[in-house]
Structure formats: C-alpha cells, structure tokens
A and B are shown apart, each in its own frame.
Chain A
Amino acid sequence: MAKVEKVKTPKPEELSNISYHPPATDWMDTPTEFKPGTYCWGAKEKDLITLGLPNPRQWSPADEDWKVPEGWETTILDGIAERLSKYRSFKVFMDICVRCGACADKCHFYIATGDPKNMPVLRAELLRSVYKKYFTKSGKFLGRLAGARELDMDVLKEWWSYFFQCTECRRCSVFCPYGIDQAEVTIIGRELLNLVGLNIDWISGPAAACYMKGNHLGLEPHAITGNIETMCDDIEEITGIRVNPTFNRKGAEILFVTPSGDFLGEPGIYTCMGYLMLFHELGLDYTWSTYASEGGNFGFFTSNDTAKRLNYKIYAEAKRLGVKYIIGGECGHMWRVLNQYMDTWHGPADFLEVPVSPITGTRFENAKSTKMIHISEFTADLIKHNKLKLDPSRNDHLKVTYHDSCNPSRGMGLLEEPRYIIKSVCNNFYEMPENTIREKTFCCGSGSGLNASENMEQRMRGGFPRANAVRYVQEKHGVNMLANICAVDRAAFPALMDYWCPGVGVTGTTELLANALVMKGEIRRTLDIRLQDLPGKGGNE
C-alpha cells in the first residue's frame, strides 16, 4: 500500500509571512498555473469530431499531459507562417508594437489582477516572442536578447491560459497609437491552438451544437416554436393581445435572427418577448427561422473557417425564404461578425435588397452591402418618426444605466441608438462615468466564449471594472437596472451584479421598450414583461 504523506500544516506566522518582492523570475521564466475557478474546461472529443477539428480526445487542462499530437511544434509554426502570408494585419501587429505601454492598464483582466501577462502588450508578446524566434533575423541570431524564445509545451499552455483570458473586447486597441487590434492577435492565437485540438468546452460545445442544429443551445425546431408560443401566452396575459408569429414562412419581407440565448434563459426571454410585441404592433411582415436560429457565432472564437461555416446559414436561409432583408436581434459578437466579416465571407448578398423600413421609409444605407440591420437602428428610427405610442411612466420604478456592449460599440459604432431608445422609454436614465462607456466601455468579463460557470472567479475579476462603474451610479443615483444590447451580457451580468452590486437587475433594451409600448387594443397594464406587478399601475404591489 502506498504510504500516505502527512500534510504539513503551516504555522500561523508562516501563513502571514508575505513576500514583499516582485517575482524573481522574468515573465518568460514564470510558469503558468492552472487553479480551479480561473480556467474553462477543455474541449470535448465529441464536439471536435462533430466540427471536424484536429486532435479530438478527452483531456483536462489540469492534467500534466495535454495529449497534443506528435510534431505539434511544426503544426503551430506552419500555422503561423500561413497566417502571416494570409493576413497582412497579423504581420503588421507582430512587427509594429513599440511597447509604449498605452494599452497596458486598459485591459479589465489586468486592472483586476495586476498580472502582467494580462497586459495586452504582453499577451501579444506571448505569441510575438515565438514569431521572433522563427520568423525574424534578429530573433534567430540574438534569441532572448531580441525578445525571442523557443516554442515548447510550457509556452503552448501559457498561450492557452492567456488567450482564453482575453475577451476580444478591443478596449486596448482604442488606446493603441498604432491601432494594434489585440482581439485579432487573440483570434489568431486561438486559431493556432485549435490546430492541435486546444479549445475550451464552452466554445466548442455551442459551436458543435450550432453546426448540427442551427443554434448554440442545440434547440430543435419544436423547442424554438414551443418556447416562443409560451412567450406569446405570457404576452397575452400581460396585454390581452394574442401575438401570432410565423416560422420559416416563405415570401415574408423580413427574416429576423437573434441569439438563441433569447429563446431560453432569463432575462433574455423578456427581450425576445419585446421583439414579438414590437413586430406585432407594427404589423411587420417578418418570419422567424428554426434553421438560422442563431445570430451569435462561437465559431468566431475558434477559427475563421469555423466562423464562416456557422455564419453561412443566415444568407442561405434568407435566400431559401425569399425575404428582402434581415433584421438582427440584440447581441454583441454577433454584430462584429455580421458587420465586419459576413459580407466578405458570403457576400455580396445580391439576392437581397437594401433594408428599407416599411413603416418609416428610411433606407439603411449603412447596410447597403450586408442587407442586415440591428434591431436598435430599426427601433430608434421608428421612435424618431413618432411611429410608436410609448408610456415611459411604466418604467418609472426603474433607474436605468446603459452598458455599451463591446462589439456593437467598438465594432460598429452603435452608440446613440440604444441610448435614444432608452431615453424615450424610461424617465430615469443615468450614464456611468465617461471613461467606462461608449468606445471606452468596460467588458462584462465573460465575452468571447468565456461565460462558462467553472471559471466564475475569473469572470468576477474580469467584470470588476465594469461592475465598479455600475456601483458608482447605484450609490450616486440609486440605479437599479443595467440595460444592454447583448445576449452574453444578459447571461453573464446577473451573476456579476449579484456579486459586486446586489440590487441591480439586468435587462435588454427591447424589454424596456416593450414595457413602455402602448399596443392597440391592449388591456390596462398591471404587469410588466416579467409578469411582475407594475408599481403604481394598480397591480398587487
């Protein structure tokens, strides 16, 4: 029988004995530790097989042996070479950084941990040092003196740890004088890791489900229609109006695509009810699809090819149904993909028309090429043209602040529309401090596929700078509701708020609109969209 080693109990004075010195080792010599709560589970074998990605096997990041295939070094280096020739941006980002440090203290993970490897500059350096060693003369000859290092298993593990600690929010790139987009460095880093089968479960699982069923949650058509029917029942209870959405209807004018999180979890479903109510009130000729049932794209956090494959269904479905254009729901990274990648991958969508609002006649020239507009653009335009009857007093019990979701704000400049909607439907709106909103918005800490549960501590760290600003307006103005336009926000923020700012709820912007929307023929509203009594409106409060 193996001898059980006695655990040495430290003495009290040993416990409080703190080293007051910075690490003795240089960053290159500081190994990565994997502590539970700070990393996500590794990608599962079955999901990698489904997606046709390399090296499917059962493994755990906590294991010493990550079971990477033999010759993995060559695979990675060939992968870097291929991407250097394919993406000019990658080559420029590898060469151009002058280490000015402007980005260093802009990352929410760095701000909350003080871990230098979470500085965007150093996160990029993890990859850049390998690039230097194998792809530059100075690195080949001068080695470490030129900041170059060999690629080995420790480096690979370090990449995995830190590229899955970046939420690709791009806050750092706002401050970079050269415009280096750290999100793209992370994207390439994750692509390289995927070449040897190193993804996380929370990304590859949803990506595989999306590949098979059309959405991240793996909801089958009857589950989607069933859930929406349930929402229609609730809407009827609240408003007295029966909403009758259609599914997969050929010949509809508009296809509506939203992240599948809106079909299922709280508080996403309330935003979804908002869409249903708004479209019904307008008499919009639109349809839902149970095939293109996902606006988000976790393939985007895997590789360009996987993202492209998952995105394909949106145009394909628009073509099959013969719609004129597409409206998309409230989501974050979905919009970076739709706004910046979809047209290059699968466009130009000549079979569609430039979106024109059937209610106001506004032509959305900004979507001339993609033929897809954001629900906030569509709604803000309706309000601007006075096409909606609104009673903002129904939101009077709410003191609202707005979180600019990273991708729509920094990725497509959607800054004013959501604010315009909120101000039109709520009487109490308070902005968070200037350096925490708009282009400088702080990430929720859970973006880019990091909203798993097993990494809860990491999420609480990453979201701390955002929550800190929410707490400020909570204390100063009594803010009790955090609005956003992102499904990951709606899924991740409730936990973040519970921890840092208890008492602050989370809502999609369209849910606020639905509360205030006065529908033709509705009963006197005593309930809000969550079926809670509306204070001051004769409910049983």
Chain B
Amino acid sequence: MDIKLKDLIEGKRSVILERWFDAIIETYPTDATGFLKKKQDRFANPVGHAISKGTEGILEVLVGEKELTEDLPFLNDIIKVRAIQDFTPSKAISFVFLLKTVVRETLEKEIRQNQIYDALLRFESKIDDLALFAFNIYVKCREQIYELKTDELKRMTYTLLKKANLMYEIPVPEFEIKDPNCNT
C-alpha cells in the first residue's frame, strides 16, 4: 500500500474507526437509545463488541502488507451477527462500503493536498475485494441457517428411525480389509 496514504490513515486511525463504527450502528434504525454504541462490556453488548473489534481488525488488514483472503475472523464475526438480524442481504454487508465514505471524508483535505488519488483508488479497490469476501461469508451464514433446521430435525428423529429399522448405520470395521481388488 502507498506509504503516504497508509501514514495518513494510521494517523487518523481512531477517528476513522470511530466514524465507521458510528455509521454502522446507524444502520440499526431502531436503536434510538444508543445502546449498541456502549462499549464497556463485551458480554452486555455483544453486537457492539463484534462490530468494534471487527472494524479494528479489518482496517488493520486493509492498511497492512498481508494479502486479503477470505479467512478473516473479524469480518466473519460481524457478518454472522448481521446475517441473522433484520437486514436485506445488501444492507447486511453494506457496512463494508461505508468505510470508503468515512476515509474520503476524514482525509479529504490531506488527499487533495498530497494528490494521492491513485493510492486512494487502489485502497478502495481493496475494499471492493473485501466486499466480495463479505458476500461469500454472508451466503455461507444463510446457508447454514437452513442446514441448522435440517440437522435439528435429524437429531429429533434419529432414535425413531433407528428403532423402526428405517435407518441403518454401517459400523466402522475393526480392521481394514486389504483387498487388492477393492477400490479404496
């Protein structure tokens, strides 16, 4: 990443994170009391905690040297929460794009003065990549919700099926059969 932009972002890291966090919390229109903004206790406010820890982690990766991969635990944590809340799919992952606006607004003057639009564009492309990963994670979470339903049904009926001889589990063999004709 461009050194100059990196320095600028890191210089205003806490402001950017604060603004990004606030912008995300504002996607919860019903939270009129500001409960989700309270950060003192991760157990009393797990949603706020997931978002605040998650945004910190994501920003670190974005400005860091490491390559972006889908295996981003903090991205996962935020999306898991938003995937089961009252959001349409687009709104659920829109929080990623909010970072673009926040960075542009926070560093508007500095970017203009230093003429680093190219670097900004590259940084924003990285955010786009992140959004695609976010989309993958979101879909995975939603698929899991449906799997949970079927798994639960299986757990509920397992004994009955076994008892009614409707299901048979092949026992694990004690010794592996070494048959050269066998395709194992």
Which residues in A have some Cβ–Cβ distance to B below 8 Å? 15-16, 18-23, 35, 37-38, 104-105, 110-116, 223, 226-227, 230, 263-267, 269, 433, 435-436, 453-454, 456-457, 460-461, 464-465, 468-469, 472, 491, 494-495, 498-500, 540
B182 near A: Cβ within 8 Å? no
The answer to whether A468 and B30 touch (CB under 8 A), given A453-B153, A460-B145, A540-B172, is no
B44 in contact with A435 (CB, 8 Å): yes
A23 in contact with B30 (CB, 8 Å): yes
B156 in contact with A500 (CB, 8 Å): no
The answer to whether A461 and B43 touch (CB under 8 A), given A16-B97, A19-B29, is no
Number of interface residues of B (CB under 8 A): 48
- Which of B23, B141, B145, B174 is most buried by chain A, counting CB atoms within 10 A of its CB? B145
* Per-residue A-contact encoding for B133-162, CB less than 8 Å = 1, 0 else: 000000001001100110111011111101
In the complex, A38→B91 CA distance in Å? 18
B145 in contact with A116 (CB, 8 Å): no
In the complex, A216→B98 CA distance in Å? 49
Q: Which residues of A contact B85 (CB under 8 A)?
A: 112-113, 461
Identify 22 residue pairs between A and B in the complex whose beta-carbon atoms are under 8 Å apart, listed by A's number: A16-B94, A16-B97, A22-B30, A23-B30, A104-B35, A105-B35, A105-B44, A114-B47, A115-B86, A265-B157, A266-B155, A266-B158, A435-B43, A436-B43, A453-B152, A453-B153, A457-B84, A457-B145, A465-B46, A494-B151, A499-B80, A499-B145
Q: Which residues of B contact A37 (CB under 8 A)?
A: 145
B117 near A: Cβ within 8 Å? no
Closest CB in chain B relative to A153 CB, distance in Å: 22
**Which residue of chain B has the shortest Cβ distance to A227 in the bound complex?**
B159
A230 in contact with B145 (CB, 8 Å): no
**Which residue of chain B has the shortest Cβ distance to A502 in the bound complex?**
B144
A494 in contact with B155 (CB, 8 Å): yes
B172 in contact with A264 (CB, 8 Å): no
A495 in contact with B44 (CB, 8 Å): no
A264 in contact with B36 (CB, 8 Å): no
Closest CB in chain B relative to A133 CB, distance in Å: 24
B46 in contact with A18 (CB, 8 Å): no
In the complex, A116→B85 CA distance in Å? 14
Which 7 A-B pairs give the minimum distances between C-beta atoms?
Answer: A114-B31, A468-B46, A22-B32, A15-B90, A495-B148, A20-B26, A460-B84
A469 in contact with B43 (CB, 8 Å): yes
Q: Which residues of B contact A38 (CB under 8 A)?
A: 86
* Per-residue A-contact encoding for B26-65, CB less than 8 Å = 1, 0 else: 1111111101101001111111010000000000000000
Q: Which residues of A contact B17 (CB under 8 A)?
A: none
A116 in contact with B32 (CB, 8 Å): yes
In the complex, A328→B145 CA distance in Å? 34
In the complex, A500→B141 CA distance in Å? 10
A453 in contact with B149 (CB, 8 Å): yes
**Which residue of chain A has the shortest Cβ distance to B159 in the bound complex?**
A264
Contact of B156 (CB < 8 Å), options: A16, A116, A264: A264
B28 in contact with A114 (CB, 8 Å): yes
Q: Which residues of A contact B91 (CB under 8 A)?
A: 15, 18
**Which residue of chain B has the shortest Cβ distance to A457 in the bound complex?**
B84
The answer to whether A499 and B148 touch (CB under 8 A), given A265-B155, A435-B44, A494-B155, is yes
B109 near A: Cβ within 8 Å? no
A113 in contact with B86 (CB, 8 Å): yes
Task: For the A-B complex with A111-B47, A265-B158, A472-B43 known, give 8 more contacts whose Cβ atoms are closer than 8 Å.
Answer: A18-B27, A21-B29, A113-B30, A264-B157, A266-B158, A435-B41, A464-B84, A494-B152
In the complex, A435→B41 CA distance in Å? 10
- Which of A18, A454, A464, A468 is most buried by chain B, counting CB atoms within 10 A of its CB? A18
The answer to whether A111 and B45 touch (CB under 8 A), given A22-B29, A264-B160, is yes
Q: Which residues of B contact A113 (CB under 8 A)?
A: 30, 85-86
B163 near A: Cβ within 8 Å? yes
Q: Which residues of B contact A540 (CB under 8 A)?
A: 172, 174
**Which residue of chain A has the shortest Cβ distance to B172 in the bound complex?**
A540
In the complex, A534→B32 CA distance in Å? 52
B9 near A: Cβ within 8 Å? no
